[in-house]
């Protein structure tokens, strides 16, 4: 029954080479837009963008027409399945996060898979598409005979190769000729207008880092010479400096059309009234936590980086003079704490480049308490307090929580005690907001526990607490829209609303209080150094002068006109950042003492485990030492053996048949089976 169909494909070659790319493009756009009708509407609305997309698809698929027709149809079928998958994934991401599939997402595949089971349906559909692809390939291989190559096969191949070559080499010119417009402030609009292929391709071009036109050593020297700290420095005063970046923490009472049965964050609100507080502008919404963290720790701004990029995964590949480096020079112990996997956003590597002494991730936590799918913030609080108690130096701690991470269910949690009320909320939005309010209520209690614990320790200490970004409440901003908090997500005011999170501070050494401060995340590190009266770096000195002159916010460049920001406002800032992150590091040639060293003593965990003795005991072998954790495993002669955790000083394994010349080592591996901590090798002679 299939032979007539396959005969049609083999006898109507010109039609095949024209129709196959069209089908693939319609599949891509149909899945990406959510329906074939929307794909056809896009073709009618943007014929130029459709034409270019079709030509590119023609080149990609028909470059294989030089192969035997059976092989060509097999490859075409695989491409059809592949583009269908990519379109479907893009649509799912658009529904959940408000953005389609971006080039940078391929660098974050491990995060997308590791974060939750929210995308289970994606894998189900992909499995179905894979099964269909395999079935079609088998049918093609069975029913199509081998054919000889003909002359026009070479013509099609050459034409297709030229198409791909021109797009690769001259895409900027193509954009100019066809007046293609990259809509960088809204990737959903970008893909709606340009289509998935061109939108994705333009984003790929946009990932390139352009060198500032005035970048040279003399420019960097001038920038450094004219920027000295704008605040007093006290070298003898060394308070503990603690950052708490609380996952998706925000104040839902800011939505004027919504009321709550009780205040979800009463302690946070009390700190706002009694302590220095304000609003922090985050560069991201609903995700991209690492970009907020990157800005706060380095002083760099992601507004100078390509839209959609994640600095931690793409750009941090050499030592940086970040806050840990700056404060280590001044006698501080520097620790990073995160209640999630060590590899997430490449933190295990990046924290070393930023100058931390240690990184305590969830792998090193003994029997942590969970609240929902993630570790409760009270566990993070206790880790912070432990660090302050244990060290004999002033502490710099950057902590990142996880408890409040989305998604937020559309089914009401029966344990909820706080209820939202609004006439405009749908049942799904009502449940989402109720679930969120109750989660952050528990986070608020953890913050109170931290401050109460620090009061008891009674060391000079300051805390800066803020959310990394607004929570993603519903698909495509649904809760925010229904609550009247934003209009459509694309206006300048909507941008400010969706990127502004409240922050509070606490300290026990100053009575000076400031309210209603307004900073973007990249100024938070400089702000902390100023409060603690600590010296900084060329970057923080530049930022301190910008703050003194009233420039303490940097927003997306697409809104500079709306905010009346002159084009050259941040020219020095951008040049200095390029020098430190991508350039020749002229800054460190000018100021050698500021060159960050390679952090060779960096460890993961609170302390490295040590094996001091091995003692046989009633069929078991007791490994004695220090700094053991529950996830540690004993390796006997290089092979992992079943291990029982007894306490921080003891592990137990079954007694081996022989201990003669045995080697024993304790190791800890993360969820990707990478060894992240190991002890000395103990040799039993």
Here the CATH number for the domain that contains residue 387 is 3.40.720.10
Q: Is 592 exposed, middle or buried (0-12, 13-18, 19+ CB in 10 A)?
A: exposed
Report if residue 215 sits inside a domain.
Answer: no
The C-alpha atoms of residue 80 and residue 60 are separated, in whole angstroms, by: 11
pTM to 2 decimals? 0.79
What pLDDT, in 10s, does the model give residues 43-58?
A: 999 999 999 999 999 9
Same domain, 297 and 366: yes
pLDDT of residue 651: 98
- pLDDT band (50, 70, 90) for residue 126: very low
pLDDT reading at 146 higher than 50: no
pLDDT of residue 184: 53
Question: Mapping DSSP to helix (H, G, I), strand (E, B) and coil, where does residue 639 land?
Answer: strand
Same domain, 291 and 199: no
Same domain, 281 and 397: yes
Same domain, 291 and 364: yes
Same domain, 377 and 267: yes
Last residue of a domain, one of 186, 206, 226: 206
- pLDDT band (50, 70, 90) for residue 413: very high
Cβ–Cβ < 8 Å for 468, 246: yes
Same domain, 153 and 55: yes
Count structural domains, the chain: 3
Cβ–Cβ < 8 Å for 594, 576: no
The C-alpha atoms of residue 402 and residue 347 are separated, in whole angstroms, by: 14
Same domain, 425 and 494: yes
**97-125: burial string, b at 16+ Cβ within 10 Å, e else:** bbbbbbbbbeebebbeeebeeebeebeeb
What pLDDT, in 10s, does the model give residues 419-441?
A: 999 989 999 999 999 999 999 99
Domain with residue 657: its CATH number is 2.60.40.10
Query: What phi, psi does 294 have (nearest 5°)?
Result: -60, -45
Last residue of a domain, one of 595, 616, 640: 595
- pLDDT band (50, 70, 90) for residue 137: low
The C-alpha atoms of residue 543 and residue 231 are separated, in whole angstroms, by: 11
Report if residue 229 sits inside a domain.
Answer: no
Residues near 23 by beta carbon (within 8 Å), at least 6 away in sequence: 80
Report if residue 263 sits inside a domain.
Answer: yes
- pLDDT band (50, 70, 90) for residue 670: very high
Q: Crossing angle for the helix pair 47-62 and 13-33, nearest 10 degrees?
A: 120
Same domain, 177 and 279: no
The C-alpha atoms of residue 127 and residue 129 are separated, in whole angstroms, by: 5
User: Which residues are 611's β-sheet partners?
Assistant: 625
What count of other Cβ atoms lies within 10 Å of the Cβ of residue 426? 13
Report if residue 225 sits inside a domain.
Answer: no
Report if residue 600 sits inside a domain.
Answer: no
Same domain, 73 and 194: yes
pLDDT reading at 6 higher than 80: no
Report if residue 228 sits inside a domain.
Answer: no
What pLDDT, in 10s, does the model give residues 280-302?
A: 999 999 999 999 999 999 999 99
Last residue of a domain, one of 567, 595, 623: 595
Same domain, 172 and 241: no
Domain boundaries, position 412:
234-595
What is the pairing mode between strands 682-684 and 675-678? unpaired
Same domain, 675 and 549: no
DSSP codes of every residue in 481-502: HHTTS-SSS-SHHHHHHHHEEE
Report if residue 227 sits inside a domain.
Answer: no
- Indicate the average pLDDT of the chain: 89
Report if residue 217 sits inside a domain.
Answer: no
pLDDT of residue 135: 53
Q: Which of 172, 173, 169 is nearest to 161 (CA)?
A: 169
- pLDDT band (50, 70, 90) for residue 102: confident
Summarize the confidence of residues 579-592 as an average pLDDT: 96
- Backbone CA torsion sign across 60, 63, 67, 72: positive
pLDDT reading at 346 higher than 50: yes
Same domain, 158 and 264: no
């Amino acid at each position: 029954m299939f032979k007539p169909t396959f005969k049609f494909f083999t006898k109507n070659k010109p039609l095949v080479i024209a129709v196959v790319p069209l089908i693939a493009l319609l599949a891509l756009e149909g899945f990406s837009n959510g329906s074939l009708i929307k794909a056809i509407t896009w073709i009618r609305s943007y014929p130029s963008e459709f034409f270019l997309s079709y030509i590119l698809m023609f080149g990609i698929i028909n470059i294989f027409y030089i192969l035997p027709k059976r092989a060509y149809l097999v490859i075409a079928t695989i491409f059809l399945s592949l583009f269908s998958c990519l379109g479907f994934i893009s649509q799912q991401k658009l529904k959940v996060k408000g953005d389609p599939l971006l080039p940078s997402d391929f660098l974050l595949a491990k995060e997308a898979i590791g974060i939750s089971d929210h995308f289970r349906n994606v894998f189900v559909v992909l499995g179905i598409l894979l099964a269909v692809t395999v079935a079609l390939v088998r049918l093609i291989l069975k029913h199509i005979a081998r054919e000889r190559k003909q002359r026009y096969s070479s013509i099609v191949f050459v034409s297709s190769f030229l198409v791909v070559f021109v797009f690769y080499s001259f895409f900027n010119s193509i954009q100019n000729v066809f007046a293609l417009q990259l809509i960088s402030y809204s990737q959903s609009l970008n893909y709606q207008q340009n289509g998935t292929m061109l939108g994705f391709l333009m984003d790929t071009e946009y990932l390139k880092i352009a060198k500032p036109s005035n970048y040279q050593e003399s420019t960097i020297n001038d920038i450094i010479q004219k920027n000295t700290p704008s605040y007093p420095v006290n070298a003898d005063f060394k308070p503990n400096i603690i950052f708490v970046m609380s996952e998706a923490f925000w104040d839902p009472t800011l939505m004027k059309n919504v009321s709550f049965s009780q205040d979800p964050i009463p302690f946070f609100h009390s700190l706002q009234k009694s302590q220095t507080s304000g609003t922090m502008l985050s560069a991201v919404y609903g995700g991209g936590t690492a970009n907020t963290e990157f800005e706060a720790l380095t002083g760099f701004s992601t507004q100078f980086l390509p839209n959609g990029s994640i600095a931690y995964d793409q750009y941090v590949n050499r030592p940086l003079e970040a806050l840990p480096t700056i404060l280590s020079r001044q006698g501080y112990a520097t620790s990073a704490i995160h209640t999630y996997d060590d590899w997430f956003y490449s933190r295990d590597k990046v924290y070393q480049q930023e100058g931390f002494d240690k990184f305590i991730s969830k792998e090193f936590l003994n029997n942590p308490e969970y609240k929902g799918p993630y570790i409760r913030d009270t566990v993070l609080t206790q880790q912070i307090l432990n660090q302050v108690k244990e060290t004999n130096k002033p502490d710099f701690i950057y902590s990142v929580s996880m408890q409040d991470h989305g998604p937020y269910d559309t089914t009401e949690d029966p344990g909820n005690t706080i209820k939202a009320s609004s006439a405009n909320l749908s049942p799904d939005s009502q449940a989402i907001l109720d679930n969120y309010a109750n989660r952050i209520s528990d986070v608020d209690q953890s913050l109170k526990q931290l401050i109460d614990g620090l009061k008891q320790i009674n060391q000079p200490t300051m805390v800066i607490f803020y959310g990394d970004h607004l929570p993603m409440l519903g698909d495509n901003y649904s809760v925010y829209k229904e609550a009247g908090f934003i209009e459509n997500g694309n206006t300048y005011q909507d941008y400010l609303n969706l990127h502004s999170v409240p922050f509070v501070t606490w300290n026990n050494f100053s009575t000076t209080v400031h309210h209603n401060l307004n900073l973007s995340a990249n100024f938070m590190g400089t702000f902390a150094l100023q409060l603690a009266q600590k010296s900084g770096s060329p970057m923080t000195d530049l930022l301190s002068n910008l703050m003194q002159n009233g420039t303490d916010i940097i927003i997306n460049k697409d809104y500079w006109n709306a905010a009346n920001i002159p084009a050259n406002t941040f020219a020095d800032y951008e040049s200095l950042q390029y020098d430190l992150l991508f350039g020749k590091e002229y800054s460190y040639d000018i100021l050698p003492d500021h060159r960050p060293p390679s952090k060779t003593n960096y460890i993961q965990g609170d302390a490295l485990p040590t094996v001091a003795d091995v003692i046989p005991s009633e069929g078991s072998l007791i490994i004695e030492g220090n700094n053991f954790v529950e996830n540690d495993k004993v390796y006997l002669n290089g092979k992992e053996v079943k291990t029982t955790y007894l306490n921080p000083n003891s592990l137990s394994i079954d007694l081996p048949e022989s201990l003669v010349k045995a080697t024993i080592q304790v190791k800890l591996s993360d969820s990707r089976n990478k060894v992240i901590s190991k002890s000395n090798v103990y040799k039993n002679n």
